[in-house]
Structure formats: structure tokens, C-alpha cells
Structure 1
């Protein structure tokens, strides 16, 4: 989504899928934009196991960027492309209730999801509107937390009983050999992906993606796919073709 051309292509594909009858929920983060704003303030981004370390100052930037900028921009693009998008965050309608991460001493205001209440989404989805959800949430006391967007998407997919969870990335999908782009794993089950993780073949920012796929599958989502969003029309290829465009994980 860093490329404006690819961004427009992804949005057009989302709108097309909505027009042919698919009910879509769009969950987003905003890592590059957050990094840009942190850089303007002289704050160096810091990550631990693929998760952004989020102190109080960083949390303010995360909320401002995800809710105030990226969300509005994506909603505008979808509306211009001919669908009806609705701007939301995990805080709205108690959609997501957060709790501190078990590693909160190291990660700061990075949250896990304690509960999901999708009731605010159902009338939107039933009318084929596209909810666009920024991955921030609050705990029961109102403290805001930075939620990994893939984690948020996985938990929402499970709560909604989604057919598919699709994670678009800006890196290659799951590879048998991380140094060989041609070693794409097209399909794998939970047992296989856990073994790859244990063997060190899945590492860094791919770990939260794989973990959220496994959790969503365990909660009833039929399939979960990790897709390289830099590939033109990868979303359509994954959904509408037998060959697909990424790594599909099955239960």
C-alpha cells in the first residue's frame, strides 16, 4: 500500500468483490506512515518480535495516524471507487476491548484483544457497506492500546464467522527457504506451519501473521491466506482462481 498505483488497484479490487456480492471487512494498520511521523519528531521506531514498542508518546502518534489519517484516506478512496465505506476503529461501539500484552513491560501500550463485539458491524455488512477499521482499541478503563492489525483482523474474522481471512503484506509470503523467492509454500496446514516456525523458517514480522491465522482457524474461520500485496491484483487472484496468489493455511 506504499505505492499509490498499487493502493488504487487494491481498493478497486475490494470494490469489485463487494459489487459481486462478497461482504468485506477491511482492517488496517499504518506502519510506514507511523514511522514517518515518528521520524519528524526524532523518535526512532523500535520493534520486538515484529510488534511495535509503544510508549505513551508513540501511542499518541499511532492513534493520530491510524484513526485520523490513514482511516479517513482509505474510506475516501473506497467511496470514490463506487462503494460505501464506513470509518471505524476498535474503540467504536466496543468493537474491540483490549488488555495489556503479557510483555507489556517491554512493549508498552501494545494490547491483546480481550473480547470482540461485532454487533456494530453486522448491519453495515448486511447492507454491503465496507467497514474500514483502524487497529486501535481501549481497555475497560478507557486506556488506548496499539493492536497489531493482523491480530485484530484475525479476531474479527473469528467473531464474524468469516469464510476467509486475507492478510496483505509488503513482503514475500511463507517461503520454504527465506532466501529463495521461488520457494513459495502455496498451501499448508496448522501442523505444518507450526513446524516451520519451530524450525526457524518463519521469523520476524511473519510470526504475528502466522499466529493470527492459526488462532482464527482454531476459532472456525475456514481458510487464512497471507498474500504479497505488491503483486498486481493479488487479492482477486487469491479469491477467484484455483492457483491463488499467496500461502493458504488450513485447519
Structure 2
């Protein structure tokens, strides 16, 4: 049975239809996959920071995280959003447990290395896979907020896409970014076309050409960064069309797949 790591973007989390969670329930109950949910929360974090008059900025799609910003990020991610997703799972009779990357040493991190000051932003160095597998084997869905901790006990904000990528790579699972768009798109002959697949080189070229921009950059880089001989693909799927998840697990073409070695194609 496949392990399916789903990253739910903050821009779509409160827009997901009930059918999304029904689909997850069906996939687990019919033993099509072990679901793992990782979530973001950018819009809600932005709203609370604005209410508290705390400035927030981004560098290459990553939120500059001061001590003040980190406190708000933890409050939103590990509090309200995590609880809401767990609630929606349990409405569908799914056994779900809300976790942050700090719980049980789930996500160990180190500071992201950049040429610019970005504050307490971490990248995952180790995932407690034994703990996650114990939950999955007992039919419990982990719902993970992307907060991690280093060896000194310092907490870090982790980009949700990057956290999901690290978890998928560690578990050897399939990685799906659940978004409010059907994939990576490009205007072609006055029409928006979806790339059915992109390689690492092709995706990086799209970033360079500013076809892929803003918050889609870490999503795409996380997808291609997760690729290896053991993990040959990741995908961006439209969460507003939850049947796409089941279709993807059947091997059908949906969304944009990021592949280890293939040519890009349009739908």
C-alpha cells in the first residue's frame, strides 16, 4: 500500500469541500494508501500579523521569521489550522492526530542557509519515520504543522512544501501538493495550458523565465528536490477536484507531475 503525503496549502485549506475528506476516508478504508497530511497557513498568518501590526516579508517565497513572527506562526499553524484539519478528518470517522514537527522529535532542523538574513527559518535534517510508521500502521493519520526544532531546543518555521518533501523522501512515499490550481500553467496561443510533466531542469528554466513565480517557487523546488532514483515523481493536484487524488493513485494523468527523468509535456 502506498504512503501518500499530501501538502495542503494555506490558500485552499478552508476552501476544501467535504468531498475531499470523504475521498481521503475512502482511500484509507479501501487500503489504497496510508495518508499523511502536512499543512501550511500563509493567509491566516498574514491576517494575524497584520492585526498585531507585525511586519512580514518574503525572500524567494520564504517568510522572514523574527522571534515575534515565529510566535504567531506557531500559534496559527500548530493551533487553529491543525485543529480544524483534524476535526474535518474525524467528522469522516478518520482517526487523525494533530502534531507539530516538535512532537516526539518528528522534524529535526537546521537554519536555512541563505545570503540574506531570513531569521528562524529551518530545513529538515531528520524525520522520525519510526514514529510516523507506527501511527500509519495503526490507521492513524498524522496531521503535521511545519514547525521544527534544532539540537539546542530552538524552534524554526519550516516552509510547508519543504517539510512535506522531506517527509515524503524519508518515508519513500508519493508526494502530492494539494493546491487551488490544477498544476503549472503557461499561456500558449492565448490559452492557458497545464504542463502534464516537468523535469528538474525544465522547472528551473520556468522559474528563471518567471513563468513560475512567488509562492509556487518553493512548491516546485520542493517537488523537484524530493526526486531521486527511489522517488521518481511528485505532483501538484487541484484540491477542489478531490477525485483527482484517486485518479492519480490509479496512475492516470492529472495535475503536473515532476519527474526524475522525462521530457515536459502539455495536457
TM-score by length of 2: 0.85
Shift of the alpha carbon at 1:5?
Answer: 5.5
- Corresponding residue of 1:205: 215
Cα deviation code 1:167-196 (max 9, x no counterpart): 012345212339966211012223322332
Closer/same/farther in 2, CA of residues 113 and 228 from structure 1, 3 Å limit: same
Closer/same/farther in 2, CA of residues 14 and 232 from structure 1, 3 Å limit: closer
Q: Tell me how many residue pairs correspond in the alignment.
A: 249
Match of 1:248 among 254, 257, 262: 257
Shift of the alpha carbon at 1:161?
Answer: 1.0
- Corresponding residue of 2:142: 131
Closer/same/farther in 2, CA of residues 44 and 134 from structure 1, 3 Å limit: same
- Structure 1's unaligned 5+ residue stretches are none
- 1:14, 1:180 → 2: CA distance? 36
Cα-Cα RMSD: 2.3
- 1:178, 1:95 → 2: CA distance? 43
| Deviates most, 193-202 or 56-65 | 193-202
- Corresponding residue of 1:110: 121
- Corresponding residue of 2:224: 214
- Structure 2's unaligned 5+ residue stretches are 1-10, 261-267
Closer/same/farther in 2, CA of residues 55 and 16 from structure 1, 3 Å limit: same
Structure 1 position 142 matched with structure 2 position 144? no
Structure 1 position 75 matched with structure 2 position 99? no
Contact 2:90 2:96 in 1 (8 A): yes
- Corresponding residue of 1:9: 19
Query: Between Structure 1 and Structure 2, which shows a larger proportion of strand residues?
Result: 2
Closer/same/farther in 2, CA of residues 89 and 179 from structure 1, 3 Å limit: farther
DSSP 3-state at the match of 1:13: helix
- Corresponding residue of 2:56: 45
Shift of the alpha carbon at 1:225?
Answer: 0.2
Closer/same/farther in 2, CA of residues 181 and 26 from structure 1, 3 Å limit: farther
Match of 1:30 among 27, 31, 41: 41
| Deviates most, 189-198 or 152-161 | 189-198
